[in-house]
Structure 1
Amino acid sequence: MLRVKLLQTPKKEVDAMIDLTEKVGLPVKLVRAKEGWQLEIGEGVLYEKPAVRLVSELKPVMKNPEANTPNWLYWMYRNIRLPEHEPQILASGLRYDLTVFNPGVLCVDGKAKDGDEWNKAAGHYHPYARIGVTFPEVYEVIYGRCMFLLQFVDDVFAIPPKITRFVILEIQAGDLVVIPPNCAHIAVIPSETEPTVTSNWVARAFDSQYTPIRLMKGAAYYIVKKDNGYAWERNTTYPEAPEPEVVKGSDWEKGNLPTGIPVYKAFFEDPKTFEFLVRP
């Protein structure tokens, strides 16, 4: 187990309501609910019915499938748009989403300890857009901080896959991240106190591929709690895997995407720079 220190998150009470309108570019608030954090989306904004991911659904990809807390891990709000933007978004072949992750550690009966995994997403690959190249994606961290585990492979459907590169991206609020083709990606939330909100633009005409990750019991490395930081542990379901590279989100390649404004607005500022998401 290799240790990498993170800055400690202050153990202070987070406000029960946080206005994210300026950071998202849409009228959105982050609100504390009974079992965690959710979004309150302003009147007139269109979106699909939110979906919650429960701890029971992640058991196939957990280091410890006996973990049963926290119950609500994250909420997904898909296909968000203003009515006046709908024609342009539909014509582009893209979709804009928001996700809210609860802080915490995947543990038994709420008793977190070193070696337990930090809360995370289920993780998935994208299908092939053309021979040898899968669909990419663009993410922005709106609030909080997270990591993205990027697992580059020769063939996204191979079991087990041949992993050519494994990257741990450390991402802060405001960072814009391009998920390249041909890699799985898994968000990890290394905090016990602070929620994380991410947004993304992605091609709408495909289904994410969860099965290859599920069959391998997660990514090649688990990110676990270690003192005031984190460590990574090998998932031995994979016969081999390269050592992880730790990279700051601010240093990750962003291409020609507009920066300095919310990624929702950035699409309308320069839609051509997002075309690679549907035609990589």
Structure 2
Amino acid sequence: MADYGLDMTIHHQPMGFAYGDDVTGPMPEIRYLDQIRSSLRDPQCDGPDEVYAIAMDVARIQDRDELQKRMLLFGVVTYAAGQLGEEPIRSQGHVHRISQHSGWSPPELYEIWQGKAIIYMQEYVEDDPGRCFAVIAGPGDKVLVPPGWGHATISASPDEPLTFGAWCDREYGFEYDAVRAHKGLAWYPLVQESQIVWLHNPHYAAGRLQVIAPRQYEEFGITPAPIYQQFIDDPARFQFISRPDKVAALWQNFHP
């Protein structure tokens, strides 16, 4: 409870979630290796059959009406331990589909709960990916992905599962076509001697990757408290997730 801001338990064998008496959430969806092969450097690689479990729209019962009114949704994801060939366990690269209610591709705010993560993001999913960042985050760290950026969440702890929560737009949707057309995102993470190294994807223009630590995002009013607890304390705090147009100036020249 103290770690997550809402009463739930994470299970790894099998992967899934248990909700407290005052929390509702769906049965988790399992993402299988065969479903994500097209985003990997080696689509024929070996790895765990069940790569990660995802539950969207987890909430305290008393918050559901407020979340629906604000077009906000809280999701929880847990990864298997292990590797996908030479790559760490990771999500598929994608861009968020434009939401009809805002007209924007929504941002997303992550909070790491267990394990160590890399939130990789790039400005564009065209031939020139623009600026590329890999944000290295541990338990309690928050990472904000801005509107329209291609991104993926990568486990940086192959020997232990990664779990994180995230604030999303209620009309969330994922676009994969542009990333799959480039055989993935602009940089591939590879595991070498328990370290993550990066290999440029030749289907994109040459560029550089900035590997950085998380920051506070004070301009968005985010505090060190658990991000679900921050919503409980101030339901308007994360309105910029579902209405990024309301803070359009903050997205200009955004730096993760």
Establish whether TM, by shorter chain, passes 0.5.
yes
Q: How does 1:98-247 map to 2 (within 5 A)?
A: 98-107=76-85, 116-128=86-98, 134-153=105-124, 160-238=126-204, 240-247=205-212
Q: CA deviation at 1:223?
A: 0.2
Contact 2:16 2:28 in 1 (8 A): no
5 Å-filtered alignment, 1:56-71, equals 56-71=34-49
Matching residue within 217, 225, 244 for 1:261: 225
In structure 2, C-alpha distance between the alignment counterparts of 1:253 and 1:33, rounded to whole Å: 35
| Aligned-residue offset at 1:119 | 0.9
Q: In structure 1, give the amino acid aligned to 2:129.
A: I
Amino acid of the structure 2 residue aligned with 1:145:
K
Per-residue deviation, 1:216: 1.6
Amino acid corresponding to residue 148 of structure 1 in structure 2: I
In the alignment, which residue of structure 1 is the partner of 2:2?
22
Pairing of 1:71-110 with structure 2 (within 5 A) = 71-107=49-85
1:47 equivalent in alignment to 2:25: yes
**Residues 118/237 of structure 1: CA separation in 2 closer, same or farther (3 Å cut):** same
Deviations 1:63-114 (A, max 9, x none): 111113111111001101122111111101010010001121112xxxxxxx
Structure 2: 5+ residue stretches without partners: 245-256
- Contact preservation (8 Å) 1:103, 1:190: no
Q: Is the 8 A contact 1:177 1:254 kept in 2?
A: no
Identical aligned residues as a percent:
23
Query: Which residue identity lines up with residue 191 of structure 2 in the other structure?
Result: K
Distance 1:218 1:77 in 2: 24
Residue 248 of structure 2: aligned partner: none
Pairwise CA distance, 1:191: 2.0
Work out the CA distance in 2 between the residues paired with 1:233 and 1:80: 36
Partner amino acid for 2:119?
A: F
How far apart, CA to CA, are the structure 1 residues paired with 2:118 and 2:218? 16
The CA RMSD measured in Å over matched residues stands at 1.8
Using the alignment, how far apart are the partners of 1:277 and 1:161 within structure 2? 27
Q: TM-score, normalised by structure 1?
A: 0.81
2:236 aligned with 1:272, yes or no?
yes
Deviations along 1:31-84, whole A, 9 cap, x unmatched?
2315xx432222442112210111111110111111131111110011011221
CA distance in 2, matches of 1:181, 1:263: 19
Give the secondary-structure state (helix, strand or coil) at the position aligned to 1:271.
coil
Q: Which AA in structure 1 matches 2:210?
A: E
Distance 1:39 1:204 in 2: 20
* Contact 2:10–2:18, Cα closer than 8 Å, also in 1: yes
Following the alignment from structure 2 to structure 1, what is the Cα–Cα distance between the partners of residues 198 and 187?
A: 6
Q: Is the 8 A contact 2:107 2:241 kept in 1?
A: yes
Q: Which runs of 5+ in 1 are unaligned?
A: 1-20, 108-115
- Rounded to whole Å, the distance in 2 between the matches of 1:92 and 1:63 is 38
Note if contact 1:124-1:186 (Cα within 8 Å) is conserved in structure 2: yes
Q: Give how far 1:242 is off.
A: 1.7
> What are the superposed Cα offsets for residues 124-145 of structure 1, whole Å, 9 maximum, x if unpaired?
11134567x5311111101111
